[in-house]
Amino acid sequence: MVISSTTTPLTDILNYSACNPTTSFYYSNQEDCSLPYVTMNAGGRLGNKLCQYMSLVLLRKTFGVRAAMLEKMNSSLSPHFPQLSLPVEDGKCFPGYTTQDIYHNLYMKLVNSSRLWPYNQLYHYPLNASVYVLNNPCPIHLLEPLREHLRRELAFREDIIKKAKQNLDKAVKSLRLNTTENITVITVHVRRTDHIDFMINKFKIQPLTKIYFQRAFNIIRKTVAHPVFVVSSDDRGWCLSNIMDKDVVFAGGADPVTDMALMTLGDHHVITYGTYGFVGAFLGRGTIFFPKNKDFLEFPCFNSTIVHLVDRF
């Protein structure tokens, strides 16, 4: 699917409840150490940290604010992603933050600040003080227009991709398919174990059942040629008992970084709740099949070009 690369007026598209068909707006001097900046909590695992990084890039590209990552984030991501563009917070050009906020509040403040001035006037810098973002954002619908940019910036190290391709090839060959046609690789991520209790306790959302995967798989089987579903999960036993079929193979389990790199190699993706699966699919290509749930609006988007919502019941 194609993501629009056109830009539209800020007042027309900066709506937190919808996908925005744009890639960038304003640029400030990122090396001007006198300007306030944004940095962010670097907690959680790989998926959380990548979402935090992408959320910082989003603020920089959308509003022109300076952004920096903590050394903790850099030390976690830079060994695997050599193309990172955000600077690391230091005492010289990033002397410290003076206020704290959560991402949604900061985003809306920047939106409102940008709406205060007409477009025929000079750009004004929207931050009055440096900000530390407390939470772990992953605004899927806002990140969508930046997909191609972030795919380039968050490209895995070459040796990681090489290993992931080897694991993928081995998994596909194990199916011994009776076809000489080109297959369509669908990478699937099934998050369970600790995440089940988290979703129940925080969002009152019951775990996804095999019905969701069957529906997603059948939609894909009807629309693409020769699909092969390559599954990674933290619960191999559940997958083997519930979603395996003649065109489904389990390939995960190497390590979190290699498994995520493997996810990016798919032509399309089926994911569950959680940042890890989303990032693996987002850094790939094609359509992302995501569970639809009216009580859990993780993706409050009505005109997505890349996400296909699938009923879970």
pLDDT digit string (tens) for 147-181? 999 999 999 999 999 999 999 999 999 998 876 57
pLDDT 10s digits, 109-141: 888 877 655 554 556 788 989 999 999 999 888
**Assigned token pair, 122:** 């000079």
Residue 24 is predicted with a pLDDT of: 43
Residue 52 is predicted with a pLDDT of: 97
Residue 28 is predicted with a pLDDT of: 63
Of 37-41, 80-84, 191-195, 301-305, the poorest mean pLDDT is in: 301-305
Confidence of residue 16 (pLDDT cuts 50, 70, 90): very low
Confidence of residue 197 (pLDDT cuts 50, 70, 90): confident
Of 4-18, 100-114, 165-179, 257-271, the poorest mean pLDDT is in: 4-18
User: Is residue 227's pLDDT more than 50?
Assistant: yes
Q: What is the mean pLDDT of the chain?
A: 85
Let me know: does 205 contact 295? Beta carbons within 8 Å.
Answer: yes
List the beta bridge partners of residue 233. Answer: 190
**Vertex 266: Cα angle to 174 and 168 (nearest 5):** 30
User: Is residue 215's pLDDT more than 70?
Assistant: yes
HEC profile of the chain? CCCCCCCCCHHHHCCCCCCCCCCCCCCCCCCCCCCCEEEECCCCCHHHHHHHHHHHHHHHHHHCCEECECHHHHHHHCCCCCCCCCCECCCCCCCCCCEEECHHHHHHHHHHHHCCCCCCCCCCCCCCCCEEECCCCCCHHHHHHHHHHHHHHCCCCHHHHHHHHHHHHHHHHCCCCCCCCCCEEEEEEECCCHHHHHHHHHHCCCCCCHHHHHHHHHHHHHHCCCEEEEEEECCHHHHHHHCCCCCEEECCCCCHHHHHHHHHCCCEEECCCCHHHHHHHHCCCCCEEEEECCCCCCCCCCCCCCEEEEECC
Higher pLDDT, 71 or 62: 71
User: Is residue 286's pLDDT more than 60?
Assistant: yes
pTM attached to this predicted model: 0.88
Confidence of residue 203 (pLDDT cuts 50, 70, 90): confident
Residue 256 makes CB contacts below 8 A (sequence gap 6+) with 45, 46, 276
Confidence of residue 7 (pLDDT cuts 50, 70, 90): very low
Confidence of residue 56 (pLDDT cuts 50, 70, 90): very high
Residue 202 is predicted with a pLDDT of: 78
Residue 301 is predicted with a pLDDT of: 54
User: Is residue 98's pLDDT more than 70?
Assistant: yes
Residue 3 is predicted with a pLDDT of: 25
Confidence of residue 305 (pLDDT cuts 50, 70, 90): confident
Higher pLDDT, 113 or 228: 228
Let me know: does 90 contact 79? Beta carbons within 8 Å.
Answer: no
Q: For each of the domains in the chain, give its residue range(s) and CATH number, in order of start.
A: 10-153 (no CATH), 158-311 (3.40.50)
Average pLDDT over residues 11-22: 41
Of 10-19, 208-217, 224-233, 276-285, the poorest mean pLDDT is in: 10-19
Distance (Å, rounded) from C-alpha 187 to C-alpha 180?
A: 20
> How crowded is the C-beta side of 210, counted as CA atoms within 13 Å?
8
